Amino acid sequence: MFEFCADPSILPTGQWFACYLTSGTHMAFYRSFLVVMLLLAITAPAALAMGILGALALRSDFAPVNLLGRGYVNLVRGVPDIVFFLFVPIALGQGIEWVLHQINCPDWDQPIRQGNDFIVCREAKMPPVGASAWTRNVYGFSMAIIAFALVFGAFVANTLYGAMRAVPQAQIETAESYGMTRAQAFRRIVLPQMWVFALPGLSNIWQILVKSTPLLFLLGIQDAVFWARELGGAKTSLYTYPHPDWRVWYFMVLLIFYLFLTWGSERSFGWLTRRLSRGQATAEGERLRRGAA
C-alpha cells in the first residue's frame, strides 16, 4: 500500500501499523464486513417476501395452503434455527444434485447413498466440476441466503399475519361496502396499513437477523469471523508481520461493529415508526396529529 512497506521489520511502530493494517489480508478482512452487509441487504427483502407469502398462506381459506403455511411457520419456529442453518444448505445441495442426477444420468444403476458417501454422476455435481473459486463462493453464499430467508421468513410470516389482523376490521368492511372486492380491499386498505402494526415485530426480527450473520462462518464462507480468527492468531517471524495472539482485539472490533449496527438500526426503526404512524388510528398517530395542530 505505502512505499515504505518494503521491509516491515525495520519500521517504527506507527509506520509498521500503517503497513500492517493495509496488507492484502486486511483488505480482505474489511471486505468481509461488506459481505455481512450484502447478506443483510439480500436476506432482508428475501425474508420479507417469504414472510408475505407465508402470511398470505396463513390467511388463506383454502385448507391445503393454510396447512402448508401453518406447517412451515411452526416447524421453523419450533426447532432451533442453528439446526436449520446447517441443515438447509446440505440438504438443499444434496437435493439439487439428486434432481440433476435423475435428469442427466437416468441410466445410472448404482445407489446414490453408498455407506457414508453421497455419489452422483459427474454431470450432476453442483457447483459443476472444474468451476472457478468465484462460482463456488457464489453458490455457497446463495445457499446461506436461502437458509436465512427460510428461517427468517417464518418469523416474518408470523409477525405479518398478526399485523394484518390488527388492521381495524371496520375499515375493511367499509371498503367492501364501497364495492371493492376482497383482493382490492386487501391491496388498498390492509397492505398499506399493516406495516405500522408489524414494525415492532419486524424491528425485533431485524435485530436477530443482524446478530445471526456471524453464523455465516459455520457455512464455510470467509466472513468477518473467519478473517478475525485468521489474522488475529499468533504469527511467528516467518510471516512478514509477526505478532503475538491478537484475536481478542480483532473480536473486539467485531463486537463494536455489531453494537454499532444494532444501535443504528434501533434508531432507524424509531424514526420509521414515527414516520409510519402519521395518520394512523393509533395512540402514536393521534399524538403526532395533536402535535401538528
Partner 1 sequence: MRTCAESFQGYVLRPLGRDYGERLLPRGLDITFCDQLFLIGGGLLWNIYFAGLAILFGFFLATGVALMKFSANPWLWRPASAFVFFFRGSPLFIQFFFFYSAFILLPRTGIDIPLGFTTLTVQTSALTTAQVGGLFVLILNTTAYSAELFYGALRSVPKGDLEAADAYGMGGLTKFRRVVWPNMLRLAWPSYTNEAIFLTHSTTLVFLSAFPARQQSGEAFYYARYFVDQTFNPFVAYPIVAAYFIMLTLIIIGLFGLVNRRLNRHLPQEKRQRIRFRPQYIR
Chain residues 57-116 in contact with partner 1, contact rule CB under 8 A: 77-83, 86-87, 90-91, 94, 113, 115-116
Distance CA 202, CA 47 (A): 11
Select from 168-176, 223-231, 267-275, 277-285 the region that touches partner 1 (CB under 8 A). 223-231
Could you say whether residue 267 binds partner 1 (CB under 8 A)? no
Q: CB of 141: closest distance to partner 1 in angstroms? A: 18
Angle, to 10 degrees, between the axis of helix 24-59 and the axis of helix 63-78?
Answer: 140
Q: How many CA atoms, within 13 angstroms, populate the side-chain half-sphere of residue 95? A: 7
For partner 1, give the closer residue by CB, 9 or 114: 114
Q: Count of CB atoms within 10 A of residue 231's CB?
A: 20
Closest CA to 58 of 42, 48, 73, 41: 73
**Residue that has been written with the C-alpha cell 462462518 in this structure:** 217
Could you say whether residue 221 binds partner 1 (CB under 8 A)? no
**Residue that has been written with the C-alpha cell 441466503 in this structure:** 145
Select from 21-29, 39-47, 52-60, 225-233 the region that touches partner 1 (CB under 8 A). 225-233
Residue window 231-250: x/- pattern of binding to partner 1, with contact defined by CB under 8 A: -x------------x-xx--
- Asked if 206 and 145 touch (Cβ cutoff 8 Å), the reply is no
For partner 1, give the closer residue by CB, 86 or 272: 86
C-alpha cell at 177: 361496502
**Residue that has been written with the C-alpha cell 432451533 in this structure:** 80
Question: From the list 259, 267, 270, 279, which residue makes contact with partner 1 (rule: CB under 8 A)?
Answer: 259
Could you say whether residue 262 binds partner 1 (CB under 8 A)? yes
Query: 245 — alpha (psi -120 to 50), left (phi > 0) or beta?
Result: beta
Question: From the list 53, 65, 166, 218, which residue makes contact with partner 1 (rule: CB under 8 A)?
Answer: 218
Question: From the list 33, 137, 146, 214, which residue makes contact with partner 1 (rule: CB under 8 A)?
Answer: 214
- Report the chain's C-alpha Rg in angstroms: 25
Distance CA 54, CA 69 (A): 5
Q: CB of 83: closest distance to partner 1 in angstroms? A: 5
Q: How many residues bind partner 1 (CB under 8 A)?
A: 44
Could you say whether residue 118 binds partner 1 (CB under 8 A)? yes
Q: CB of 159: closest distance to partner 1 in angstroms? A: 10
Distance CA 227, CA 170 (A): 55
- Specify the length of the chain in residues: 293
Select from 4-12, 50-58, 131-139, 210-218 the region that touches partner 1 (CB under 8 A). 210-218
Chain residues 122-181 in contact with partner 1, contact rule CB under 8 A: 155
Distance CA 129, CA 278 (A): 56
Could you say whether residue 217 binds partner 1 (CB under 8 A)? yes
Beta bridge mates, 250: none
For partner 1, give the closer residue by CB, 19 or 48: 48
Binding site for partner 1 (CB under 8 A): 77-83, 86-87, 90-91, 94, 113, 115-118, 155, 204-205, 208, 210-215, 217-218, 225, 228-229, 232, 245, 247-248, 251-252, 254-255, 258-259, 262-263
